[in-house]
Amino acid sequence: MVKDSTGEQKTFKESFSLFLKKHSEQTDRHPKINLAIMLIFPLFICSMAEINQFKGVLPYLDFLIHRPMVIIFDVFIASIIFVFLLAIFHFGWVSIAVQSFIYMALSITELFKYGTNGNHLILSDMKLFRSVKSLKSFAYIKITPRLVMYCIIVIAFIALAFYFNPKFKLKPMKRVIAGLACVVPCVSLVFLPSFSSAVYKIFSIDTTDATNTFKLNEKFQNNSFLAFIVQTASESYENRLTEPENYDDEHISEIVEENTEEENDFHGGEKPNVIVIMSESYADFRVFDELNIDDKYYEKFDEAREDGYAGTTITPTYASWTVRSEFELLFGLPVRGINTPNMPQRELADREQPALAQYYKSWGYSTAYVHPFQKSFYGRSRIYGKFGFDTMIFHNDQTGESDFTVPVEHFGTYVDDSTVFNQLIDLIEKTDDPLYIHTTTMQNHQPYNQGENPDDEITNYLTWIQHTNDKLSVFLDSLKEIDEPTLVLFVGDHFPSLRGETSVYNQLGLNGSNCNALYQQHYFIWSNYDADYSSVPENEVSFFYMPYVLMNIIDAPHDEFIETMNNYMEKIPVYSEEYASEIERDEELDMLTYDRVIGDVYSPCPIPEELLTTTAEDE
């Protein structure tokens, strides 16, 4: 029992009913205030989301003065969404609470994402939401008094709306019509390029084609947060992957080169182990003379390059999206051929895939994939299980589940590279057949706040790189003691993710037109036998050609597909718009990529045809 204002005792149910009645009366009691709340809200929530990005009111006002049409666009879109929510929920305060939560959640996520790796949030990043627990270990999350204050202001506005209780006073049928009327422009903005182009032009939204991360970040500066999210959603749909024109068996046969060479025989039948080490976030910062990086950090790396073959390859990504680089090394195909998705493995047909491990299996190799992280991250275990690997080894720190057969040690946040190297040695020693192994390490992944100075990211990072190089040297020495011919490719997947405004990249003044060095990766090929490196190209080549470089060194058999890719390596050595936007698309190379991973695999491959058919259920 509770007492009301008159002192009369009432049940909780009666008190709650009385509260709802008085609350409902507020709607008609303050019509002007309620109207003002409804009209002000779209501008309010847009401003709060943007102020959060600018980390202050004054920078936001400066943007408003110089780019007023962009903010008008933001308010226009927010108004449409608000009316749509009102049509659903009827109560103004509920609609305000829902939209406020969405806008501020996206704004805070963008704030943390850019602060973590210098990349801005796009809607396709939401695909990683299922891996949010894993992402926590990557992110720099700092709750500041300013952020708390902004959240309190938003909550206060929601409370104000709750108190005055504005409502959408339309009959149900009219609310349905209003809701549908809101859906049409939003859907058209994303799915009708001709409509969106006209709208973006009216509101001066930057629609420049962003071919690398820095150009994308420059677009963010012109559009700010909300317009950037909407425009990149439209752009993503417009660039969606579709079946190429004239894609059929006959056309693929015309693309694939006829193999006129004598069949290769592994130098008389000797099949060396082939180990591909894609080192997480490994990069040689000495390419920037301004940084004066001490050679001591790369001493053992330099020794390995001098002992083997040293070169430069062009990675398809920068700072993140390791799976782009992994795709190119595993398939020997360009991600550009499938429109450079952030997560190319999600574009693949659900069937056995003609990854390069399949070739090694057909040549009598045992195959293994090693990654010292969660098997569920990026769906690796499920998806890569169709790439032809006999053995897949993962490690999950969160659950303790591990496939490693050697003791697991850590360096910084993640599994020590020495553990991975020990696992590779263990696989070689315990496997009778020649081995093909791909490993993607984790040790050097951000965050780089562990060291004498947590804010000195670059020094902490270089300390970890030096640790990798030292353990790499031990690994190579161990291979010298093993009486099995072994060939090693060591390459970093991309330059590391560094914090937004305070990163070395900003200090270097890098932008969309001078960032080429960040897509160049120094690599080495090393062997414990007298390998012939004469076929290795001296010029820069894209990541996806490196598997064929290794095949040529070991004198592996060439089918028509492999021969075609070798010819492309001479004809188009670099095929990456991130590295050089002026490199034109090659329709035939794109079609061949589509054919291998999404289409019907008309091109030659070592997988039996019955395993390449996608079932109706899969489709």
pLDDT at 269 > cutoff 90: no
Question: Which has more pLDDT, 431 or 173?
Answer: 431
Asked whether residue 361 falls in the same domain as residue 405, the answer is yes
> How would you class 604 by CB atoms within 10 Å of its CB: exposed for 0-12, middle for 13-18, buried for 19 or more?
middle
Closest CA to 331 of 594, 611, 527, 127: 594
Let me know if residue 5 belongs to a domain: no
The whole-number pLDDT of residue 455 equals: 81
Residue 475: pLDDT above 60?
yes
**Band (268; pLDDT cuts 50, 70, 90):** confident
Q: What is the average per-residue pLDDT within 441-467?
A: 90
Same domain, 330 and 194: no
Domain C-terminal end among 238, 262, 291: 238
The pLDDT of residue 260 is above 80? no
pLDDT bin (cut points 50, 70, 90) of residue 20 is low
Assign 217 a pLDDT band (cuts: 50, 70, 90): confident
- pLDDT tens, residue by residue, 534-562: 999 999 999 999 999 999 999 999 999 99
The answer to whether residue 244 is domain-embedded is no
Lookup: tokens for 457: 């990211």
Tens digits of per-residue pLDDT, 565-603? 999 999 999 999 989 888 999 999 999 999 999 999 999
Give the C-alpha separation, 601 to 595, whole Å.
5
Say whether pLDDT at 45 is over 80: yes
Is the model more confident about 193 or about 11?
A: 193
Per-residue confidence (pLDDT) for residue 615, from 0 to 100:
47
197 falls within a domain? yes
Res 201 pLDDT > 70: yes
CATH number at residue 454: 3.40.720.10
User: What mean pLDDT comes out for the span 265-275?
Assistant: 89
In this structure, are 217 and 73 located in the same domain? yes
What are 153-188's pLDDT values in tens digits? 999 999 999 999 888 777 778 888 888 889 998 889
**Which pair of tokens denotes residue 41?**
């809200």
Q: Which domain holds residue 596?
A: 271-611
* Angle, alpha carbons 50-54-60 (nearest 5°): 70
| Lowest mean per-residue pLDDT among 10-24, 360-374, 468-482, 512-526 | 10-24
Q: Read off the pLDDT band of 478 (50, 70, 90).
A: very high
Q: Is residue 252 part of a domain?
A: no
Q: How far apart are CA 22 and CA 162, in angstroms?
A: 12
Q: Say whether pLDDT at 608 is over 90.
A: no
Residue type, position 18, single letter = L
Residue 1: CB atoms within 10 A of its CB come to 8
Q: Are residues 134 and 279 in the same domain?
A: no
Same domain assignment for residues 110 and 39 = yes
More reliable by pLDDT, 302 or 116: 302
Alpha-carbon span 260 to 563, nearest angstrom: 9
Q: Are residues 91 and 220 both part of a single domain? A: yes
- Predicted confidence at residue 594, as pLDDT, reads 96
> Above pLDDT 70, what percent of the chain?
91
Whether the per-residue pLDDT at 272 is higher than 50: the answer is: yes
Task: Report the mean per-residue pLDDT for the chain.
Answer: 89
Compute φ and ψ for 349, nearest 5 degrees: -65, 145
How much is the average pLDDT of 487-505?
Answer: 88
Residue 57's pLDDT is: 94
Length of the chain (residues): 619
Quote the pLDDT of residue 143: 83
Higher pLDDT, 149 or 511: 149
Lowest mean pLDDT among 134-148, 446-460, 536-550: 134-148
Q: In angstroms, how far is the first alpha carbon of the chain from the final one? A: 60
Let me know whether 170 and 316 are in one domain: no
Looking at 197, 218, 238, the residue that finishes a domain is 238
The verdict on 469 and 372 lying in the same domain is yes
Tokens of 29: 């009691």
What is the dihedral sign for C-alpha 354, 359, 362, 366?
negative
Residues 430 and 507 in one domain: yes
pLDDT tens by residue, 82-112: 999 999 988 889 999 999 999 999 999 888 8
Tokens of 459: 């020094």
* pLDDT reading at 277 higher than 70: yes
- pLDDT (0 to 100) of residue 500: 65
Looking at 373-430, which runs of residues are DSSP E strands? 391-394, 410-411, 414-415
**The pLDDT value given to residue 115:** 77
Band of residue 16 on the pLDDT scale cut at 50, 70, 90: low
For residue 42, tell me if it sits in a domain. Answer: yes
263 lies in some domain: no
pLDDT at residue 284, as a whole number: 97
In a 3-state reduction of DSSP, which class is residue 343?
Answer: coil
For range 194-215, the mean pLDDT: 90
- Read off the pLDDT of each residue in 274-293 and give the average, rounded to a whole number: 96
Q: What is the pTM of this model?
A: 0.88
Are 287 and 228 contained in the same domain? no
End position of a domain, from candidates 195, 217, 238? 238
Q: Assess whether pLDDT exceeds 80 at residue 137.
A: no
- Is 2 inside any structural domain? no
In this structure, the answer to whether residues 233 and 289 fall within a common structural domain is: no
Whether 79 and 194 share a structural domain: yes
Domain count for the chain, please give it: 2
Is residue 3 assigned to a domain?
Answer: no
| pLDDT above 60: residue 134 | no
pLDDT of residue 159: 94
